[in-house]
Structure 1
Amino acid sequence: MSRLADIFSYSATFAAIAFALFLLARFRDARLSIPLGFAFALYLGIDDLLTALGGQAGLAFVGGNWNWSGKLYSLALAIAVLLAFRIPREAAGLVWPRRNAGSSLVATCLLIALSATLGAVFRPDAPDAETLAFQLTMPGIVEELVYRGVAPALFLGLVAGRREPGASPWPAILATAVMFSLWHGLGLRGGEFGFEWIPAAYTLVGGLAYGWLRFHSGSLLWPVIAHAGGNVIFLLVPMVI
């Protein structure tokens, strides 16, 4: 019961931080919609809640050592929000890359190379087949859809047919990168918050890079490739060296 209380408390705190970041951005741009900013924060809070609950025995419907169920709950929520708010495919990055192909390819390769370097430094244990399958699919696809697709669209008010901005929207990129970093580094157990700086730091860098890449290319495809490829190469490099 205390674990469930921690999950609900953490998700509520997570949503409150997201809304605070939105309000900070709105001080600089009053055109941002407060109701949609609240939707942005609530969405991230519910996404965190469903992802965590998917890891609990009672709500997990897929077996294995990884949280497949939580990721699939997160994916279902993202699809539901896309439909409910009528977010255009272009606004969520659900289109083929439309611009800056060369520089997007170079950036993707550099991000994967950075993950390879981190793998050589931290030397994680050799992965099994399930670990490789999970890291190749779930984090890259689902987390990019959440943090570089749906969440920025709500933050920017790109609903009901509104199109994405022409330039990279740095307030949205920064806010979602910070939330992505906290999601990996912040924890709550036994009513006490803890913070792990190393995962928070490199996911902040990754979040900024993936966010820039999504708007630079106009698509989620390159961030998904960079994220999934980076996760897999991080695990495989120690096996080679």
Structure 2
Amino acid sequence: MNKLISIITPLYNSERFIESTIKSVISQSYKNWEMIVVDDCSTDKGADRVNKYSQKDHRIKLIRLPQNSGGALARNKAIEEAKGKYIAFLDSDDLWHPEKLEKQVKFMEENNYDFTYTWYEKMDEDGNLINEIVKSKDKMDYSELLKSNQIGCLTAIYNQKKLGKIYMPLIKKRQDYALWLQVLKKTKYGYCLKENLAQYRLVNGSVSSNKINLIKFNWKLFYEIEKLGLIKSSYYLMWNIFTKLFLKR
């Protein structure tokens, strides 16, 4: 079980949260990892905080982009530099439970799965849990995922040794959703480890918290990135809206 895991972390003005995120990685029971933090020209001191840890722990790597380019390019730069068999994702304001990597890699190795995700819970901006656990479906294929993105970015891992390095399209939001769809073109299913192993932070004013904007970004994903055409794009957009409004995960 000594497989290297590359952790992909984009950083932009997350000085308040990044140290907690790094500590949740350092605290992992699974120790064979590298954490690649890509700073997208932050205007706060978040990158300095990362640098403090990288000087003490060689597994933590800081890359600074020359100009602000967005989360997709920052993640892609980290994927480009990744050396691990597995690619995992953790944003700069989210947290992992200590056994997250150990349990998920064991789940993948024992079942020969190339793409997996887990349940996660939500917390407010100050880190207080709000008693909501997001429970994804047991497994999902490409068509099922088009209806609703039930894969939390902070929980996903794919096998890059088997599938190759898969990158995010350069769109403002929904890059993770787009990436999962690309992964599911290379492997038939993504599988859920049905345990709560991560904490997702709800940050006030984030684009992901604006549901109207998400409709726009989903349309762009279906119509322009996936090139599904007018009818199919409309169909899957309605599925997404229906799922958000009426179905609980």
Higher relative contact order structure (alpha carbons within 8 Å, sequence separation ≥ 6): 1
More helix, by proportion: 1
Question: What's the TM-score once normalised by structure 2's chain length?
Answer: 0.28
